[in-house]
């Protein structure tokens, strides 16, 4: 197999680069070691599009965060990605925190963040956010901040890239990068050799290991685990903005925010871990998160019973302290896109632009396609077709779109089958494309139905259906066919 260029990593950064490269006449291949797009750090973060006031002026992070923020609305509209500009607050509840708020505003102005305001009228603050702590003194308001679904974004970007000619190969782990005469000639994977003369390393927490395969060892990646709570949609509207505490040198702090789906999300904390697979949630860590959130929104103390799930994600903390986006003379054809932690989701479109410029500087032959299509249709939601401002005539003709499988999130069998046709082959693949299993019961009702549909559509036995790929079987034994029939 051959490709002009290989992208290693199918997270939000790799898929954004893939879509940008799909505008050009190149044979591009994206390889991802997991069973689906976005199954690494992308699936487990807060989903915030940051305004850009927090990053130190002059850093790559600062420049690309603000640029990425301006690019996301158009991308979301073109690809049918849920995106809402909610605005964000950094909240000061102590006198000594007020000075930091002023510093953040000055930093934001230096970073060219538009519209920053300091709200120092406590009555106004409590009117705008009725559930915020009554100790609030002032807040930095950033109107350009917003929320997005990161895994839906990565899937949409990958789909659009694929339909514009990018090849995607999942469950493909890079074992080595092959060099001859100081230039890349290919990669060796668990699925064989692939010839290429250009590689873009967007491997997230594994990016230092990929870089070392080329002899580039000037940085290391430390996985930083963050734990989260997700609360029931009955709390939709409990907060109206993204609420940040005053940041520390380690973290932006424990956030309280709504999600694009209408849930409330709180987290993360920040703890270095030794293993890049350590996604454990811990009692001390979760207590830290909930207590931190209550400092902003005290009423959460009575809402712990409305938690529907907990999870943890890993951030790629580089020893450099900034994004690493570099091309090299030795070896020729290698580009690092490494150490992409927050605000990496926000910056992703701008990172992709920077990578294109690096390729052009490397004298790559980049000729734009005339038939590039920037648009992608999202999966049609039955619940949207039945909303009060639409008629029954907008319903898809397939009767499966009228058969509800996930009662919590109102997901139909038609949507699930469409997700499978678009590439989902695991429980989480269905979940991230349709939200089936993400509601109040967390799949307690719909899981058997999802297994049945996956088994039928993929022509697999029930025990072969996994949650997220290898070593994650949901039913680790044979199931009688009669038990898989719909009841």
Q: Which residues are catalytic?
A: 50
Contact 437, 446 (CB under 8 A): yes
Which residue from 469, 387, 483 is spatially nearest to 190, judged by alpha carbons?
A: 469
The dihedral sign for the CA sequence 159, 165, 166, 169: positive
CA 214 distance to own-chain centroid: 27
* Dihedral angle of Cα 131, 133, 137, 140, to the nearest 10 degrees: -60
**To the nearest 5 percent, what fractions of the chain are helix, strand and coil?**
35, 20, 45
Angle at 223 between CA 221 and CA 227, to 5 degrees: 155
DSSP state of 216: -
CA atoms of 306 and 270, how far apart (whole Å): 24
CA atoms of 325 and 347, how far apart (whole Å): 12
Give SS3 for 25.
coil
For residue 207, say if its preceding peptide bond is cis, omega within 30 degrees of 0.
no
CA atoms of 346 and 83, how far apart (whole Å): 12
Residue with tokens 């680069």: 17
CA atoms of 67 and 64, how far apart (whole Å): 5
Q: Which long-range contacts (CB under 8 A, 24 or more apart) does 211-216 make?
A: 211/336, 211/338, 213/174, 213/176, 213/177, 214/177, 214/179, 214/184, 214/328, 214/331, 214/334, 215/330, 215/331, 216/328, 216/334, 216/336
The number of C-alpha atoms within 13 Å of 390 and in the hemisphere containing its C-beta is: 12
Contact 170, 10 (CB under 8 A): yes
Q: Which two tokens stand for residue 112?
A: 């060219």
Residue 180, burial from CB neighbour count under 10 angstroms (0-12, 13-18, 19+): exposed
Give SS3 for 13.
helix
For residue 268, say if its preceding peptide bond is cis, omega within 30 degrees of 0.
yes
Residue with tokens 């938690």: 307
CA atoms of 228 and 100, how far apart (whole Å): 26
Q: Which residues pair with 231 in a beta bridge?
A: 264, 307
């Amino acid at each position: 197999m051959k490709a002009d260029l290989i992208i290693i990593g199918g997270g939000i950064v790799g898929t954004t680069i893939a879509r940008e490269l799909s505008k050009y006449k190149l044979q591009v291949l994206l390889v991802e070691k997991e069973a689906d797009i976005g199954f690494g750090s992308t699936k487990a973060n807060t989903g915030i599009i940051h305004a850009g006031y927090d990053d130190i002026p002059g850093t790559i992070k600062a420049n690309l965060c603000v640029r990425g923020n301006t690019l996301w609305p158009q991308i979301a509209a073109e690809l049918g990605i849920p995106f809402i500009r909610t605005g964000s607050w950094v909240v000061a509840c102590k006198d000594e925190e007020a000075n930091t708020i002023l510093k953040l505003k000055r930093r934001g102005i230096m970073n060219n963040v538009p519209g920053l305001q300091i709200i120092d009228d406590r009555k106004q603050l409590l009117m705008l956010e009725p559930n915020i702590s009554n100790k609030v003194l002032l807040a930095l308001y950033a109107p350009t901040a917003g929320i997005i679904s990161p895994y839906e974004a990565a899937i949409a970007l990958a789909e659009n890239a694929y339909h514009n000619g990018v090849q995607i190969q999942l469950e493909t782990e890079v074992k080595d990068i092959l060099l001859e005469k100081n230039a890349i000639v290919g990669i060796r994977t668990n699925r064989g050799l692939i010839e290429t003369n250009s590689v873009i390393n967007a491997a997230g927490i594994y990016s230092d290991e990929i870089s070392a395969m080329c002899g580039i060892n000037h940085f290391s990646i430390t996985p930083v685990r963050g734990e989260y709570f997700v609360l029931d949609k009955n709390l939709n509207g409990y907060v109206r903005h993204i609420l940040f505490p005053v940041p520390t040198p380690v973290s932006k702090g424990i956030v309280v925010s709504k999600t694009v789906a209408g849930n409330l999300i709180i987290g993360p904390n920040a703890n270095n871990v030794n293993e890049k697979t350590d996604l454990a949630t811990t009692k001390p860590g979760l207590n830290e998160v909930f207590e931190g959130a209550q400092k902003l929104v005290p009423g959460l103390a009575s809402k712990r019973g409305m938690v529907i799930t907990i999870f943890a994600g890993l951030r790629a903390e580089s020893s450099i302290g900034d994004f690493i986006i570099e091309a090299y003379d030795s070896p020729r054809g290698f580009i690092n896109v490494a150490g992409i932690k927050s605000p990496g989701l926000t910056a992703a479109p701008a990172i992709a632009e920077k990578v294109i410029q690096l390729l052009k500087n490397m004298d790559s032959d980049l000729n734009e396609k005339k038939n590039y299509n920037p648009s992608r249709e999202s999966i049609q939601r039955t619940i949207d077709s039945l909303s009060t401002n639409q008629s029954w005539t907008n319903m898809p003709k397939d009767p499966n779109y009228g058969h509800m499988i996930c009662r919590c999130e109102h997901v139909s069998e038609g949507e699930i089958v469409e997700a499978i046709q678009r590439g989902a082959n695991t429980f989480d693949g269905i979940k991230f494309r349709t939200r089936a299993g993400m509601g109040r019961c967390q799949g307690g009702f719909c899981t058997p139905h999802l297994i049945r549909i996956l088994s039928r559509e993929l022509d697999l036995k029930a025990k072969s259906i996994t949650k997220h790929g290898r070593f994650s079987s949901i039913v680790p034994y044979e199931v009688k066919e009669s038990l898989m029939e719909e009841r």
